[in-house]
Amino acid sequence: MNKKGIIVGVIVVAIVTGISVSYLSPSSETVNLDMGRTHGTISTAMASPILGDPSAPITIVEFGDYQCERCYEWFHETKPSIVQDYIDTGKANLVFVDLAFLGKDSIPASMATYCAEDQEMYWEYHDLLYNFQEHVDNGWANSERLKAFAFSLGLDKDLFESCLDSEKYSKRVQYNIQQARENGVRGTPGFFIVGPNGQQQIGGAQPFSVFKQILDPMI
């Protein structure tokens, strides 16, 4: 190989390496995250904070979109019993991974939850979105409303708006969407129940009885 070819090769390697480093190295998105955190086959490094005891033997990984009607149903009809019987008792914990794909406001809604996490209010904001969900892209989760939700929780207005307007957590949400694709999740809600001896997948807003049948033998 001549000298010109070597130089071109070095430049290409440098460019590829630079792209990889810019995506993976610590930034404002990743500096406070455990980039090695996984549950089963799923990297939850950029997902939600853990709901419940981090040392619980079982983790429920939920893939969801804040504009998903079925996710709304599961949140209101099934999740309360899971929280009461498994999460509050230390038998399981839960992690939410964004699969934000249903409409143009889905990704901003997911980004907004991480802006709330900056002020230690992730789960409060998460719950608020599912309590006030309306139809896909009818304006209920546009930028103005997302900022109003933050105000209603008493978050620092300037910090939140700066975070949301800058799209600070865009790559974090995209990373989570990619995890859904890599793990074969094609719709929302989707779940993986990860226990000491493996994981099981559940598709759709299944009732509490379906989760119980899988969770109890893992305990």
Q: How many domains does the chain have?
A: 2
Provide the pLDDT for residue 28. 53
26 contacts: CB under 8 Å, gap ≥ 6: none
Q: Is the pLDDT higher at 92 or at 28?
A: 92
Please indicate, yes or no, whether residues 83 and 1 belong to a single structural domain of this protein.
no
Please indicate, yes or no, whether residues 21 and 40 belong to a single structural domain of this protein.
no
Please indicate, yes or no, whether residues 196 and 114 belong to a single structural domain of this protein.
yes
Please indicate, yes or no, whether residues 174 and 96 belong to a single structural domain of this protein.
yes
Please indicate, yes or no, whether residues 19 and 123 belong to a single structural domain of this protein.
no
Write the pLDDT tens digit of every residue in 36-84.
999 999 999 999 999 999 999 999 999 999 999 999 999 999 999 999 9
Please indicate, yes or no, whether residues 67 and 132 belong to a single structural domain of this protein.
yes
How is residue 41 annotated by DSSP? T
Average pLDDT of the chain, as a whole number:
89
Please indicate, yes or no, whether residues 138 and 168 belong to a single structural domain of this protein.
yes
Please indicate, yes or no, whether residues 56 and 5 belong to a single structural domain of this protein.
no
Residue 122 burial (CB count, 10 A) = 18
Q: Is the pLDDT higher at 158 or at 3?
A: 158
For the cut 50, the answer to whether the pLDDT of residue 24 exceeds it is: no
List % helix, strand, coil for the chain (3-state, nearest 5): 50, 15, 40
Please indicate, yes or no, whether residues 108 and 142 belong to a single structural domain of this protein.
yes
Range of the domain at 147: 32-218
CATH number for the domain that contains residue 167: 3.40.30.10
Please indicate, yes or no, whether residues 5 and 46 belong to a single structural domain of this protein.
no
Whole-number Å distance between alpha carbons of 216 and 219 = 5
How is residue 25 annotated by DSSP? S
Please indicate, yes or no, whether residues 1 and 63 belong to a single structural domain of this protein.
no
Please indicate, yes or no, whether residues 77 and 15 belong to a single structural domain of this protein.
no
The two three-digit tokens of residue 85, written as one number? 């019987």
For the cut 70, the answer to whether the pLDDT of residue 94 exceeds it is: yes
Whole-number Å distance between alpha carbons of 80 and 195 = 21
Write the pLDDT tens digit of every residue in 154-197.
999 999 999 999 999 999 999 999 999 999 999 999 999 999 99
